[in-house]
């Protein structure tokens, strides 16, 4: 899986335990990102729908959630990956934009990304293998990038991993059906259908995911967009719509409406303590579902916060901020459903469940 801000790697066991304890069969992961939470629900036997507004997350959802591993022609997939992995580099848009103008990839890898992406477009567009091959390419590119984890700037010296050659790997597909949807959570929430369990992990602040991961957007779109600024971001990021969840002004209303609009028995929301909304406001938003309880988890902050703020020349220009924050997990729904969902975690003792709020 790619490096991703706000990815719920550490919370996955908790979220999976909540899903299993709830007795749910159908699950929604409304801000799916890497899809790691949706994958955990699918592994636990859930029939999962994964939603995100970005192109690359929709590709991951097609690959890991919507694709049934049992229905994939594994031989054809392995053969396709082997063929792509052998292609020599052919410099194109990625080389020019993300290796010469910006420095996200070393030239040898940028040219290979160009060649592989072009071949996927020529031979696999529209086929069931397309999202699997694109996922393999994005994950391979992520393993050899030269960033601190976001694509808003590149590091001054090539990152050690960027010297390694790009290598395509077989994505770890899961058996079972599922659904991938690309779109805006606010608009989709009323029409996605009914779920036993819905998980919401909206962005925490003004930093846009389509901007932070614009290189992945461009590799998926493969539309050679105009690029601006030091980071060579897609022109549409300057001009196009922005998510309501990335603005302090619009986020509270968007979240409240989304939580209200969902058809789900249990709604689980994760958020943290340095975001637009405080815990009291989050509880109030979830109270529309009925009873609300909250778990709290201390967590180490994003590596960028630990190494300080740097300008494009790599010089330190800021101070190191807080090193820890608290991750909230709010569980809401009918009282009996919420209590059943939380029972195994409560039974484990006081840690990690240290907060309980009833509305
Ligand atoms: C905190 S991240 C989710 C991380 C994910 N749970 C994981 O573990 O990888 C928030 C996600 O919300 C998506 N997003 C932002 N605004 C959105 C919107 N209006 N509708 C749907 N998805 C949105 C972003 O693209 C991003 O992937």
Q: What region, left, alpha or beta, does residue 272 occupy, with left being phi > 0 and alpha being psi -120 to 50 degrees?
A: beta
Alpha carbon of 105 to ligand 1 centroid (Å): 25
Residues 354 and 329: their CA atoms lie apart, in Å, by 11
Distance 201 CA to ligand 1 centre (A): 6
Indicate if the pLDDT at residue 353 is higher than 90.
Answer: no
Mean of pLDDT values over 353-358: 38
pLDDT, tens only, 197-231: 999 999 988 899 999 999 999 999 999 999 999 99
CB contact at 8 A, 317 and 311: yes
Q: How confident is the model at residue 24 (pLDDT cuts 50, 70, 90)?
A: very high
Mean pLDDT on 47-71 = 98
Looking at residues 8-33, what average pLDDT do you find?
Answer: 96
The three-class DSSP label of residue 325 is strand
Instruction: Return the SS3 of 162.
Output: helix
pLDDT for 350 beyond 70: no
Q: Which of 38, 135, 202 has most ligand 1 atoms within 8 Å of its beta carbon, as the pocket-test mutant?
A: 202
Say how far apart CA 280 and CA 300 lie, in whole Å: 23
Which pLDDT belongs to residue 357?
41
Atom 26 (ligand 1) nearest CA: 33
CA distance 215 to 117: 13
CA of 35 to the centre of ligand 1 (A): 10
Residue identifier of the C-alpha nearest atom 3 of ligand 1: 33
User: What is the tally of helices (H) and strands (E) in the chain?
Assistant: 15, 9
The mean pLDDT value of the chain amounts to 91
Ligand 1 atom nearest to 202, measured from its CA: 10
Q: Report the distance separating Cα 92 and Cα 109, nearest Å.
A: 12
Residue 153 has pLDDT above 50, yes or no: yes
Task: For residue 33, report the distance from its CA to the centre of ligand 1, in Å.
Answer: 5
Mean pLDDT of 7-35: 96
Is the pLDDT score of 261 beyond 90? yes
Per-residue pLDDT tens over the stretch 99-151: 999 999 999 999 999 999 999 999 999 999 999 999 999 999 999 999 988 99
Cβ neighbors of 144 (< 8 A, separation 6 or more) are 105, 106, 109, 161, 162, 164, 165, 166
- 190: pLDDT strictly greater than 90: yes
Q: How would residue 6 be classed by pLDDT, with cut points 50, 70 and 90? A: confident
Span from the CA of 9 to the centroid of ligand 1 (angstroms): 14
Question: Is the pLDDT confidence value at 307 over 50?
Answer: no
- Residues flanking ligand 1, CB < 6 Å: 4, 6-8, 31-34, 36-37, 51-54, 57, 184-186, 201-203, 209, 243-245
**Of ligand 1's atoms, which has the minimum distance to the CA of residue 1?**
9
Q: What is the mean pLDDT of residues 258-268?
A: 98
Q: How large a percentage of the chain has pLDDT more than 90?
A: 81
In contact, 246 and 185? CB cutoff 8 Å: no
Pick the residue whose CA is nearest to atom 12 on ligand 1: 31
Confidence of residue 336 (pLDDT cuts 50, 70, 90): very high
**Stated pTM of the model:** 0.91
Question: Can you tell me which atom of ligand 1 is nearest the CA of 244?
Answer: 19
Has residue 273 got a pLDDT over 90? no
Cβ 188 vs Cβ 51: under 8 Å:
yes
Ligand 1 mean position, distance from CA 107 (Å):
31
CB atoms within 10 A of CB 179: 17
How far, in Å, from the CA of 123 to the mean position of ligand 1?
30
Q: Are the beta carbons of 286 and 268 closer than 8 angstroms?
A: no
Task: Give me the pLDDT at residue 9, please.
Answer: 87
């Amino acid at each position: 899986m790619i490096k991703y801000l706000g990815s719920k790697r550490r919370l996955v066991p908790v979220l999976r335990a909540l899903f299993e304890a709830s007795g749910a069969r159908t699950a929604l992961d409304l801000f799916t990102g890497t899809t790691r939470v949706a994958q955990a629900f699918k592994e636990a036997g859930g029939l999962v729908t994964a939603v995100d507004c970005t192109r690359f997350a929709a590709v991951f959802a097609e690959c890991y959630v919507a694709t049934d591993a049992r229905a994939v022609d594994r031989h054809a997939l392995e053969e396709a990956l082997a063929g792509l992995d052998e292609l020599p580099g052919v410099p194109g848009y990625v080389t020019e934009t993300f290796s010469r103008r910006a420095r996200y990839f070393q030239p040898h890898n940028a040219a290979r990304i160009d060649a592989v992406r072009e071949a996927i477009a020529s031979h696999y567009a529209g086929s069931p293998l397309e999202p699997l091959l694109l996922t393999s390419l994005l994950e391979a590119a992520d393993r050899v990038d030269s960033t601190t984890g976001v694509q808003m700037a590149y590091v001054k010296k090539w990152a050690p991993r960027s010297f390694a050659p790009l290598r395509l790997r077989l994505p770890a597909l899961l058996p079972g059906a599922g659904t991938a949807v690309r779109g805006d959570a606010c608009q989709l929430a009323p029409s996605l259908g009914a779920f036993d369990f819905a998980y919401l992990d909206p962005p925490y602040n003004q930093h846009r995911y389509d901007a932070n991961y614009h290189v992945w957007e461009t590799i998926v779109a493969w539309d050679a967009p105009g690029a601006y600024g030091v980071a060579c971001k897609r022109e549409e990021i300057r001009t196009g719509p922005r998510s309501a969840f990335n603005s302090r002004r619009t986020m509270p209303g968007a979240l409240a409406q989304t939580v209200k609009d969902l058809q789900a028995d249990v709604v689980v929301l994760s958020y943290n303590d340095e975001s637009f909304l405080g815990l009291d406001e989050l509880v109030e938003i979830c109270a529309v579902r009925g009873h609300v309880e909250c778990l709290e988890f201390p967590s180490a902050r994003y590596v960028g916060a630990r190494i300080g703020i740097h300008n494009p020349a790599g010089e330190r220009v800021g101070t190191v901020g807080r090193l820890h924050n608290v991750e909230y997990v709010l569980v809401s729904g009918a009282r009996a459903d919420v209590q059943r969902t939380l029972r195994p975690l409560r039974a484990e003792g006081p840690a990690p469940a240290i907060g309980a709020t009833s509305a």
